[in-house]
């Protein structure tokens, strides 16, 4: 099975190499801003001409928004706009133009209702101080040296890695991986290089074939499994809150930037901001590492994992729990499970957002009308079942997948179908050619609502 995945490594750049990396990132920003200004100028000119009654066929010709069109316009004007263009790689300008082309396409499709998700705004100009330096290389000499501690980038030369790239080198040497592109980016106070690699992954089977597990994510416990296992929530942000407050107060006492007065930040403010950024980056790295271990463990062990389609945006409206919900990373768990289940030959099912997993009794199927968030123990009034609220939800999620033939299709009835609150459930799966588990589509019906999903 072929998959596109990334390998990310930290870099140890010399001062000269760091200046070159900044120059390439700056060139990408210049090309982006120039092309965006041209696009806006043409759009404004056409709008003004329409206001004067000029026919459409006589309007100023549109500037192509495709990468090829923007590149042709840039190549025709780069000698006047950027006389220094020969000092950096052409990939630097291509990075800025490619980002703008994608942004314009997403904005246009969003306005025409051709793009799912939140509305996408019109692209903005990039600031030198507030933009994350980044440049992407797709052609030229891109390779990892045989010593596994150095990489070669076009025009940047031989760069030292902070850690060994042995995992990537082994795949390349074995012929099971092909480097497609490389991105050099500075974030969290350090330069990194990310390789986009086409990998030929061996077919895998979960450790427990045919097993089904329901996963209920939460704050008290990061995940509660239907097997009874409890995954503790490390709460990295809460643990680092004291130090973040100290660093934040120290930053507030420094002379920072003031755009209205044209004041630039002091050197001490820059150093304090860097310390605060590294502290936040450490929290993010710890969180990401824990979520990767959780998702990998589930994908390698169980054949079918059932999770809920949570509305995280609405949950963040609770100002008492917003920080803890954001720290848990509910959306990241689902994103990682989506591709890791595919890599390991498993199946990920997404329960409908309106399915009452917490309100439904896992023993008799009775559904409560209301269940306050403060009620952490579920007590059934019909069968007198007393069970932890999250464990009850995970059992209901696992029951949704009972009776599903992952090789074909089969209906499953959700619990509570004979209760006052009508809850009907049906999951229909179909296998698409060329994939063991990816591409299956499903429909989950609950409380009269129908939601079509694509299960990774």
pLDDT tens-digit series, residues 289-304 = 999 999 999 999 999 9
Q: What pTM, to 2 d.p., does this model score?
A: 0.81
Secondary structure of residue 182 in the 3-state scheme: strand
Percent of the chain with pLDDT over 70: 88
| Given the residues 390, 405, 418, 432, the one annotated as active site | 390
The residue whose two tokens read 């041209």 is 38
User: Phi and psi for 200 in degrees, rounded to 5?
Assistant: -95, 100
Catalytic option among 308, 309, 327, 381: 308
Q: Any catalytic annotation for residue 216?
A: yes
Distance CA 343, CA 325 (A): 28
Beta bridge partners of 347: 304
423: pLDDT confidence band, cut at 50, 70 and 90?
very low
| Whether residue 407 has pLDDT greater than 60 | no
| Mean pLDDT, range 202-230, rounded to an integer | 91
Task: State the pLDDT at residue 92.
Answer: 96
Q: Which of 20, 216, 327, 352 is catalytic?
A: 216
Catalytic (active site) residue 390: yes
Q: Which of 33-37, 46-50, 438-442 reaches the highest mean pLDDT?
A: 33-37
Taking a C-beta distance cutoff of 8 angstroms, is the pair 152, 43 a contact? no
Phi and psi at residue 133, to the nearest 5°: -65, 130
Checking if the pLDDT of 455 tops 60, the result is: no
152/144 Cα distance (integer angstroms): 6
Please state, in angstroms and as integers, the Cα–Cα distance from residue 112 to each residue in 43, 106, 119, 124, 249, following that order. Answer: 17, 10, 10, 20, 46
What per-residue confidence (pLDDT) applies to 94? 95
Q: What is the mean pLDDT of the chain?
A: 86
Average pLDDT in the 1-5 region?
90
Residues 6+ apart with CB under 8 A from 178: 172, 197, 198
258-265 long-range contacts, Cβ below 8 Å, gap at least 24? none
**pLDDT at residue number 90:** 94
- Which pLDDT tens digit goes with each residue over 107-151? 999 999 999 888 999 999 999 888 999 999 999 889 999 999 999
Res. 34: pLDDT tops 90: yes
Q: What percent of the chain has pLDDT over 90?
A: 63
pLDDT for residue 435 is more than 70: no
Q: Answer yes or no: are the C-beta atoms of 302 and 406 closer than 8 Å.
A: no
Say whether pLDDT at 83 is over 90.
yes
> Using CA atoms, how far apart are residues 166 and 6, in angstroms rounded to an integer?
14
How far apart, in whole angstroms, are the C-alpha atoms of residue 404 and residue 347? 11
Residues 73-95: what's their mean pLDDT? Answer: 95
More confident residue, 141 or 415: 141
Across residues 420-442, what is the average pLDDT?
A: 36
418 is catalytic: no
Residue 404 has pLDDT above 90, yes or no: no
Distance CA 70, CA 288 (A): 36
Distance CA 124, CA 443 (A): 38
């Amino acid at each position: 099975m072929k998959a596109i995945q990334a390998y990310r490594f930290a870099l140890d750049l010399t001062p000269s190499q760091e200046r070159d990396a900044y120059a390439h990132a700056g060139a990408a920003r210049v090309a982006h801003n120039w092309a965006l200004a041209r696009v806006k100028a043409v759009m404004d000119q056409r709008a003004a001409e329409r206001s004067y009654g000029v026919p459409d066929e006589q309007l100023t010709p549109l500037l192509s928004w495709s990468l090829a069109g923007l590149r042709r316009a840039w190549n025709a004007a780069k000698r006047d706009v950027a006389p220094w263009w020969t000092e950096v790689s052409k990939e630097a300008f291509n990075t800025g133009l490619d980002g703008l082309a994608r942004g314009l396409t997403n904005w246009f499709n969003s306005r025409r209702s051709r793009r799912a998700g939140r509305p996408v705004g019109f692209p903005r100009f990039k600031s030198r101080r507030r933009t994350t330096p980044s440049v992407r290389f797709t052609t030229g000499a891109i390779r990892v040296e045989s010593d596994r501690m150095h990489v070669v980038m076009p025009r940047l030369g031989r760069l030292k890695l902070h850690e060994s790239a042995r995992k990537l080198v082994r795949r390349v040497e074995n012929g099971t991986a092909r480097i497609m592109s490389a991105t050099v980016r500075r974030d969290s106070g350090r330069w990194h290089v990310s390789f986009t690699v086409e990998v030929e992954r061996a077919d895998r089977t979960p450790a427990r074939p045919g097993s089904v597990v329901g996963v209920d994510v939460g704050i008290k416990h990061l995940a509660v499994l239907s097997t009874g296992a409890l995954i503790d929530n490390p709460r990295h942000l809460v643990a680092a809150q004291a130090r973040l407050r100290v660093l934040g107060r120290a930053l507030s006492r420094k002379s920072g930037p003031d755009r209205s007065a044209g004041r630039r930040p002091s050197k001490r403010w820059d150093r304090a901001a860097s310390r605060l950024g590294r502290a936040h980056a450490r929290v993010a790295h710890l969180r990401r590492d824990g979520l990767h271990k959780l998702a990998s463990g589930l994908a390698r062990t169980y054949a079918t994992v059932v999770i809920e389609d949570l509305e995280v945006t609405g949950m963040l409206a609770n100002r008492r729990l917003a920080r803890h919900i954001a720290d848990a990373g509910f959306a990241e768990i689902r994103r990682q499970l989506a591709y890791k289940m595919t890599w390991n030959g498993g199946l990920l099912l997404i329960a409908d957002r309106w399915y009452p997993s917490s309100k439904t009794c896992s023993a008799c199927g009775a559904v409560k009308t209301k269940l306050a968030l403060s009620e952490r123990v579920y007590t059934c009034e019909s069968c007198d079942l007393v069970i932890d609220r999250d464990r009850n939800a995970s059992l209901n999620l696992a029951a949704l997948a009972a009776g599903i033939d992952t090789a074909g299709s089969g209906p499953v009835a959700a619990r509570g179908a004979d209760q006052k609150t009508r809850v009907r459930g049906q999951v229909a799966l179909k296998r698409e050619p060329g994939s063991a588990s990816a591409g299956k589509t499903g429909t989950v019906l609950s409380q009269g609502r129908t939601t079509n999903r694509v299960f990774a």
